Amino acid sequence: MLLTLLLLPVATGFTLKPTQTMAFTSKCAALSHFFLLLFFLLSTGPIFPVISFPVGVNYGQIANDLPSPSDVAKLLQSIGINKVKLYDADPRVLHAFANTHIEFIIGLDNEFLPKMTNQAKSLAWVKDNVQAYFPSTKITCITVGNEILTGNDSVLMANLLPAMQSVHQALQTLGLDKQVTISTAHSLAILASSYPPSNGAFREDLSEFITPLLDFHSKTRSPFLINAYPYFAYKANPKQVPLEYVLFEENQGMKDPGSGLHYDNMLFAQIDAARSAMARLGHGSVELKVSETGWPSKGDTDEAGATPDNARHYNGNLFQLLAKGKGTPLKPNNAPDVYVFALFNENMKPGPGSERNYGLFKPDGTPAYDLGLGSRADPNLGDAAPPLRGDGADHTSSSSTSTASFTISSAKGLLVDMDAVCLQILIGTLMLLIWRKHL
């Protein structure tokens, strides 16, 4: 096949005029270094590495039309997402993502917290849901419950830290505590004050829980997780909260009178408010991560701002900021670790319409709105994957097919202006490279 492609110009009697020879040679030579580099990379390791996406995603599954975990794995690899947060420890997902090098935060449902205070039960859970998949599936963190301290269940509140300590002890017993951390996600409602950011403080009625939790994070070097949604602030008061401020658009912003720092978006102000609250309790060095943030593309008639355009601006602008490595005013050189909610629209979630429309993607794998995932307009974002089937079946395809498709697609822009002969040679070269990769 390769020989046929290379000899096709001769076989068809195609020849170059003398005046075309120099241009032809120049064009082909200009790309020779490129393809030599590709050949070198192919001969030394994996080729065409996916550009890393600047955020992680929450992979919720409260739906009856989602693609299979194997298809989801291919989708995430195709756009370069390498961090995923689950709300459980779904074995189908953990199996499907083995050897993908995608990092996972897995979750323990709130209902399991009382059981996890028992050391034998927590050890059994870690054996079944972490050790059984590690290290093929790259599990890096376990969230023990979600937004427990802002709920109304005093039993869960009392069991939260003991459950976290018990699961951590199980990790230590199995020798996994250096690779896997323990945390729990908090609503920003744990803050009594968040404005200005330097005045951030935790609610006094939660101090009996927050202080020992921060002690635990400091001791185990685990992250403090917050769910931060500027959308909720805008939805509650759209006439007073500037839309540009919550969407990372150009605006005057605000100056924190306490710190003198300038804030031009609400999410970064919320992050620094939480950091200030942590520092107020002597734990400013504990790492903070945003376990959830996002914007719905659709909502009920009384849900202000829930539109595809606003969702596109919120997530798109956030991605660009993080891709540039931009941190908050309090930590400008340290871009926060952020997990966007959510990967897919989830059609069975209860509550207002917005709850079912936070997804970056529809269940068939196509974007819920244009984020540039398929256009590569932003060099920091990857190619979009082809549409996925939504029947939940496991539709696997070989990695070689995926790689070859990506190769030809990525090279397409380079080939558009080439003469017919040079095009044939370059296609032949590509075929050789793909063939060489799979020897």
Strand 254-255 with 191-193, pairing: unpaired
Distance CA 360, CA 368 (A): 5
Look up 292 and say whether it is catalytic: yes
Q: Which residues contact 308 (CB under 8 A, 6 or more apart)?
A: 297, 298, 368, 369
- Taken in order 173, 58, 89, 164, the sign of the CA dihedral is positive
Catalytic residue among 111, 204, 250, 292: 292
Q: What is the DSSP letter of 356?
A: G
Separation CA 251–CA 272 (nearest Å): 19
Backbone phi and psi for residue 340, each to the nearest 5 degrees, phi listed first = -80, 140
Burial class (CB in 10 A: 0-12, 13-18, 19+), 12: exposed
Q: Give the amino acid at 54.
A: P
Given 103, 111, 147, 303, the catalytic residue = 147
| CA proximity to 157, closest of 114, 189, 203 | 114
- Amino acid identity of 50? V
Cα-Cα-Cα-Cα dihedral sign, residues 366, 85, 82, 391: negative
Residue 355 is among the residues annotated as catalytic for this protein:
no
Give the active site residues. Answer: 147, 292
